[in-house]
């Protein structure tokens, strides 16, 4: 109970279930005067939809967003923005099996205990990846706000799937290529290998994990409110809230643990009259503050727990051990679809901190024609 609200100044309240009427979010704290229409959000939601060939779930998610409040004549008003996607292709009978047989490594059983069996178990309910629709809605608004006010750009891509690692690519290549392939890889070669790996897993009725990397450019120095609301602290929290996330790291991350100070430290230099660092093992955040260098964060995702391979579980009614093979065609990897979600959460946190730091005005300029003043 209580825990579905994120942020201090750009505040996201998440609601909705996988097989309920809708999934959505209320965003409180977006400044007035941001040009915002449903198509601005829709294009992000479209990136979250499963690809045609990797398609794993047979569920057709058109995912058309509807803005219910907070905009007027095409602009945000400063009022809370409620936006949602109506669930359509919901076949609840598919989930009767799950009611009695919690899926291993899924939240089924733990939610059943926590909520006394009252939770909407269909499709995982609140624990479904589908709730990230609301994340992407909030992220789309945050992204637009960041780009139009501070020129901050957020670029996510898949760096690893099922052990296949993308190597040798530039940020420019990643930016250009990632949404041109189904796995959101930053290079063509990686895209091919990763796709092969996913299809192989699917053939075996199995699934694979992976890693999403996300870079944000254009950050000013000093975003973050240490010690507890440090920029990396808040990013870690938001990113770990994505279903399936198992770890988060910044810059050199876990590799930093193997480095010496003289290797890891980023020397300070002057470039074009400004202080910057020669390299960026810090991943753009030091002492919980943005450094002005690109923010680099990686999120590890586990392989989806719903697999066709038979697994041990328990029958909740008989309290006897049982077996389960999850029917249907589930995502063999959520990593490609997690890319826009990671971007969304990074955007939400950056927008929150940019507002907290007073870097975004509470009224955006560019009044439309017909302005009274």
Say if CB 235 and CB 353 are below 8 A apart. Answer: no
Say if CB 82 and CB 65 are below 8 A apart. Answer: no
Q: Is residue 184 within a helix (H) or strand (E), and if so which, with residue range?
A: none
- Report in angstroms the alpha-carbon separations of 220 from 233, 267, 353: 18, 19, 11
Segment interacting with a copy of itself, rule: CB under 8 A, options 42-50, 148-156, 175-183, 244-252: 244-252
Segment interacting with a copy of itself, rule: CB under 8 A, options 46-54, 103-111, 142-150, 171-179: 103-111
Of 47 and 159, the one with the shorter C-beta distance to a copy of itself is 159
Segment 29 to 68, residues that bind a copy of itself, using CB under 8 A:
29-33, 68
102 binds a copy of itself per the rule CB under 8 A: yes
Task: Please provide residue 88's backbone torsions phi and psi, each rounded to the nearest 5 degrees.
Answer: -120, -60
Segment interacting with a copy of itself, rule: CB under 8 A, options 27-35, 48-56, 170-178, 187-195: 27-35
Segment 279 to 318, residues that bind a copy of itself, using CB under 8 A:
281-283, 286-291, 300-307, 309, 311-314, 316-317
69 binds a copy of itself per the rule CB under 8 A: yes
Could you give the CA distance from residue 355 to residue 8 in angstroms, rounded to a whole number?
9
Q: Contacts with a copy of itself: how many residues (CB under 8 A)?
A: 163
Residue 259 makes CB contacts below 8 A (sequence gap 6+) with 252, 281
Segment 208 to 227, residues that bind a copy of itself, using CB under 8 A:
208-211, 221-222, 224-227
17 binds a copy of itself per the rule CB under 8 A: yes
Segment interacting with a copy of itself, rule: CB under 8 A, options 39-47, 80-88, 169-177, 182-190: 80-88
Could you give the CA distance from residue 6 to residue 16 in angstroms, rounded to a whole number?
15
Segment interacting with a copy of itself, rule: CB under 8 A, options 53-61, 106-114, 166-174, 176-184: 106-114
Could you give the CA distance from residue 339 to residue 320 in angstroms, rounded to a whole number?
39
Could you give the CA distance from residue 231 to residue 288 in angstroms, rounded to a whole number?
5
One residue of 41, 47, 54, 81 binding a copy of itself per CB under 8 A? 81
Say if CB 27 and CB 10 are below 8 A apart. Answer: yes
Of 176 and 367, the one with the shorter C-beta distance to a copy of itself is 367
Segment interacting with a copy of itself, rule: CB under 8 A, options 55-63, 138-146, 159-167, 171-179: 159-167
325 binds a copy of itself per the rule CB under 8 A: no
70 binds a copy of itself per the rule CB under 8 A: yes
Residue 87, SS3 per DSSP: coil
Q: What is the phi-psi region of residue 346: left when phi exceeds 0, alpha when psi lies from -120 to 50, beta otherwise?
A: alpha
Q: Least distance in Å: CB of 243 to a copy of itself?
A: 7
End-to-end Cα separation, the chain, in angstroms: 46
91 binds a copy of itself per the rule CB under 8 A: no
228 binds a copy of itself per the rule CB under 8 A: yes
Q: Would you say how long the chain is, in residues?
A: 373
One residue of 175, 217, 253, 329 binding a copy of itself per CB under 8 A? 253
One residue of 97, 180, 189, 269 binding a copy of itself per CB under 8 A? 269
Of 50 and 303, the one with the shorter C-beta distance to a copy of itself is 303
Q: Least distance in Å: CB of 144 to a copy of itself?
A: 15
- Report in angstroms the alpha-carbon separations of 6 from 13, 184, 189, 238, 321: 7, 27, 38, 8, 39
367 binds a copy of itself per the rule CB under 8 A: yes
Segment 331 to 360, residues that bind a copy of itself, using CB under 8 A:
355-358
Cα torsion 201, 296, 337, 348 to 10°: value is 150
- Residue among 304, 325, 300 nearest 313 (CA): 325
Q: Least distance in Å: CB of 189 to a copy of itself?
A: 19
Could you give the CA distance from residue 140 to residue 134 in angstroms, rounded to a whole number?
10
265 binds a copy of itself per the rule CB under 8 A: yes
């Amino acid at each position: 109970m209580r825990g579905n609200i994120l942020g201090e100044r750009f505040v996201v309240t998440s609601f909705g279930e996988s097989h309920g009427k809708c999934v959505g979010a209320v965003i409180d704290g977006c400044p007035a005067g941001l040009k915002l229409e449903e198509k601005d959000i829709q294009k992000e939601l479209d990136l979250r939809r499963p690809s045609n060939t990797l398609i794993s779930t047979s569920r057709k998610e058109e995912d058309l967003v509807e803005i219910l409040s907070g905009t007027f004549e095409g602009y945000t008003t400063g009022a809370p923005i409620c936006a949602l996607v109506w669930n359509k292709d919901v076949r609840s009978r598919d989930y009767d099996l799950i009611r009695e047989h919690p899926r291993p490594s899924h939240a089924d059983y733990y939610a059943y205990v926590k909520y006394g069996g009252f939770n909407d178990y269909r499709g995982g309910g609140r624990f479904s990846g589908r709730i990230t629709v609301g994340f992407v809605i909030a992220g789309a608004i945050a992204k637009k706000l960041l780009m139009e006010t501070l020129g901050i750009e957020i670029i996510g891509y898949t760096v690893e799937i099922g052990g296949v690692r993308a190597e040798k690519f530039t940020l420019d290549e990643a930016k250009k290529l990632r949404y041109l392939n189904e796995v959101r890889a930053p290079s063509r070669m990686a895209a091919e290998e990763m796709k092969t790996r996913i299809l192989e897993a699917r053939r075996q009725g199995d699934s694979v994990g992976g890693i999403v990397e996300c870079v944000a450019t254009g950050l000013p120095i000093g975003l973050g409110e240490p010690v507890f609301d440090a920029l990396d602290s808040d990013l870690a929290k938001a990113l770990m809230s994505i279903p399936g996330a198992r770890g988060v790291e910044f810059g050199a991350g876990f590799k930093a643990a193997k480095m010496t100070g003289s290797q890891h430290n980023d020397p300070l230099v002057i470039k074009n009259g400004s202080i910057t660092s020669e390299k960026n093992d810090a991943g753009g955040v030091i002492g919980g503050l943005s450094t002005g260098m690109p923010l680099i964060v990686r999120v590890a995702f586990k392989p989806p727990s719903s697999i066709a391979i038979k697994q041990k579980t328990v029958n909740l009614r008989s309290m006897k051990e049982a077996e389960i093979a999850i029917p249907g065609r589930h995502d063999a990897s959520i990593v490609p679809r997690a890319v826009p979600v990671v971007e969304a959460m990074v955007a939400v946190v950056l927008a929150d901190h940019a507002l907290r730091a007073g870097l975004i005005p509470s009224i955006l300029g560019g009044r439309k024609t017909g302005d009274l003043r």
